[in-house]
Amino acid sequence: MTKEILKITGMHCASCARIVEKNLSKEQGIKSAEVNFATEKAEIKYDSSIINPDKIRKIVIDSGYNVVDNFSEEKNDTKRQKEKAMKIELIVSSILTFPVFIRMFWMWMIPGEFLGVSMTNWVQHNLSFLVVFIFGWQFHSTAFKQLIKKQASMDTLVSLGTLAAHLYSVWAMFNNQHVYFESSATITSLILLGKFMELKSKNRASRAMEKLLELSAKKAIVLLDGKEIETDVDVIELNNIVVIKPGEKIALDGEIIFGETSIDESMLTGESLPVNKKIGDKIYSGTININGIIHLRVTKKSGETMLSQIIKTVEEAQNFKAPIQKLADKISGIFVPIVIIISLITFVGWMIATKNFEISMINAVAVLIIACPCALGIATPIAIMVGTSVGSNNGILIKSGENFEKAKKVDAVAFDKTGTLTEGKPTVTEIFSNNESWEIENKKSITDPLLQKIIKIGGSLAKNSNHPISKAIFNVSQEKNIELATMENFTEILGKGVSASCQTHKTKLFLGNLVLLKENNLVDENTEKMIKKYQDKPGTISFVVHGGIVLGGFIIKDRIKKSAKEAIQKIKSLNLEPILISGDNRITTKAVAKELGIEKYFSEVLPQDKQKEIKKIQAMGKKIIFVGDGINDAPSLIQADLGIAMGSGTDIAKESGDIIIIKNDPLKVYEAIKLSQKTFAIIKQNLFWAFFYNVLAIPLAVAGMVNPMIGALAMAFSDVTVIGNSLRIYKK
Residues 36-85 have pLDDT tens digits of: 776 677 888 888 888 888 888 888 888 878 887 655 444 555 667 777 88
Can you give the C-alpha Rg of the chain in angstroms? 34
How distant, in Å, are the alpha carbons of 170, 315, 511, 624 from that of 494?
A: 91, 44, 12, 33
% of the chain at pLDDT higher than 70: 84
> How far is the C-alpha of 56 from the C-alpha of 62, rounded, in Å?
10
Q: What percent of the chain has pLDDT over 90?
A: 16
Contact (Cβ atoms closer than 8 angstroms) between residue 697 and residue 370: yes
pLDDT confidence of 654, banded at 50, 70, 90? very low
Number of helices and strands in the chain (H, E): 24, 29
Percentages of the chain per state (helix, strand, coil), in multiples of 5: 55, 20, 30
The kind and range of the H/E element at 555 are strand 549-557
Q: What is the pLDDT of residue 552?
A: 92
Measured in degrees and rounded to the nearest 5, phi and psi for residue 557 equal -135, 145
- The answer to whether 319 and 41 have CB atoms below 8 angstroms apart is yes
pTM: 0.62
Q: Pairing between strand 642-646 and 659-661?
A: parallel
Annotated catalytic residue within 253, 329, 416, 641: 416
* Rounded Cα gap, residues 720 and 330, in angstroms: 22
Burial 608-647 (b: 16+ CB within 10 A, else e): eebbebbeebbeeebbbbbbbbbebbbbbbebbbbbbbbb
Instruction: Please report which confidence band the pLDDT of residue 295 belongs to, taking 50, 70 and 90 as the band edges.
Output: very high
Residue 437: the pLDDT is 80
Question: Is 80 exceeded by the pLDDT of residue 651?
Answer: no
Backbone angles phi, psi at 321, to 5 degrees: -100, 120
User: How would you classify the pairing of strands 113-114 and 66-68?
Assistant: unpaired
The residue type found at 216 is S
Q: What is the pLDDT of residue 72?
A: 46
Domains and CATH numbers, the chain: 2-74 (3.30.70.100), 80-208+315-384+681-730 (no CATH), 217-302 (2.70.150.10), 395-414+561-671 (3.40.50.1000), 427-557 (3.40.1110.10)
Residue 317 · residue 388 · CB < 8 Å: yes
Give the whole-angstrom CA distance, residue 644 versus residue 159.
48
Q: Which of 193, 209, 172 is nearest to 91 (CA)?
A: 193
Active-site residue, 416 included: yes
Q: Please, which pLDDT band fits residue 213 given cuts at 50, 70 and 90? A: low
Q: What is the pLDDT of residues 130-153, one digit of tens each?
A: 999 999 888 888 788 777 777 776
